[in-house]
Chains A and B, each alone.
Chain A
Amino acid sequence: MRAQTTIDFAIGISIFLLVVVYVLAFVPGMLEPFVESQNQNTIVADRAADQLTQGMLGSAERPFMLGVECTVAFFGGPDPGDCRFDATATPEERLGLVGYPPGTGPNLQVEIRGNVSLASGGVDTVCWDADADQLVEADDTACSDPNDTVFEIGDDLPTQQGVVVSRRVVSIDDTTATVFVRVW
């Protein structure tokens, strides 16, 4: 006869099955660092924000000071012609994020938000009012003309995906605002 009671078998097999189930439950977590991570999007967003705020929309000798005309041209307004980017290209092309082969690059959205009206808690997307030549918030009634430029450009934000955000504090037209560069 075998030297094994039923209890012995029960304990043994339950310990073994418990360990096997635990290990199998760990497998998805083990594979996590190896799926396509957000690391490269982090670097892309950081470099794109640096390029915008310290060179493209201002000048490299005065970092974080944005010039009004080129900023308006970047977000779709009239092009003065001497900006450091191609006003006819898409934002991805201007920042060099097209990818190779074309179309495989990341999605991009650039937005500038600020509290222009100085209301408490009123941080909103900033808009350039071409008639009054001043910055207003995007939900202001002065920003409803077709030749006013809302400082937001790029693809629509996804609702079910991780987005990497880079932010920079800048000064436009003597007002401080925050530039958000979102990459996914």
Chain B
Amino acid sequence: MTDRAQAHTLESIVAGVLILSSLVFALQATAVTPLSASTASQHIENQQEVSAKGVLAAAADSGALKRGILYWNDTENASRFHGADLNRYYTNAAPPNEFGAILDDAYRARGLAYNVHVSHEDPGRTQPARQRLVYRGEPSDNAVTAAWTVTIYDDDVLYDANELRTTTTVTDADVFYMEDAAPNSIVYNVVRVEVVVWRM
């Protein structure tokens, strides 16, 4: 009767610590990879990146990308993209042209935010200058980027608010945001359009 096992508090605490430590050891031996099913899965970012490339490819193929770059209001007191606000670029809504419609179709309903930058050569500086086309804020840490290169020639014209050709070529433009990077050739500038996409 006096030799039966007992459960003193101290002994039960020690036994509990032993069992918990074996559980912790087993848990830290399992692996969570970037592709594990979670909201931070790498698969989501991959899809966003390839979708951005598809959007740029579709816009470039139909010419909407180049028209979107040249959708500039060249009058003296405007000096911005058509329909943009004081900042010269679009913040609240997508650009009111075909490029904006393609971006909107791809991203608006899915809670994805995007920025569009136009990087162009700046004569006199070694770094390209960046002009914002759409700015929705600072991207998150999980943002992805896709880019497309477009060549602007000296005889390309600007487009008006209805996306029709005007008679103002880029060389004749007064307050265009780009400058002629190669004055002795028919190439005006080579720009890279970058789309940055992230989940809000």
Contact = CB atoms under 8 A, between A and B. Distances in A.
Interface of A: 1-2, 4, 8-9, 11-13, 15-16, 18-20, 22-23, 26, 30, 33-34, 37-39, 42-43, 46, 49-50, 53, 62-65, 114-115, 121, 123, 162, 164, 166-171, 174, 176, 178
Contact of B32 (A22, A23, A33): A33
26 contacts: A4-B6, A8-B8, A8-B9, A9-B6, A11-B9, A12-B7, A12-B10, A12-B11, A12-B13, A15-B9, A16-B16, A23-B23, A30-B23, A30-B27, A33-B31, A38-B37, A50-B50, A62-B57, A62-B61, A64-B54, A65-B61, A168-B50, A170-B58, A171-B57, A171-B62, A176-B102
Contacts of A16: 7, 12, 15-16
Q: What bracket does the count of chain B residues touching chain A fall in?
A: 35 or more
Nearest to A31: B30
Contact of A174 (B16, B47, B51, B62): B62
Contacts of B37: 37-38, 162
A2 B15 CA distance: 20
B161 interface: no
B67 to A, nearest CB: 14
B138 interface: no
Given A15-B13, A20-B19, A168 B61 contact: no
Nearest to A38: B37
Interface in B141-163: none
Nearest to B33: A39
B200 interface: no
A123 B109 contact: yes
Given A2-B6, A164-B43, A176 B19 contact: no
B80 to A, nearest CB: 26
B166 interface: no
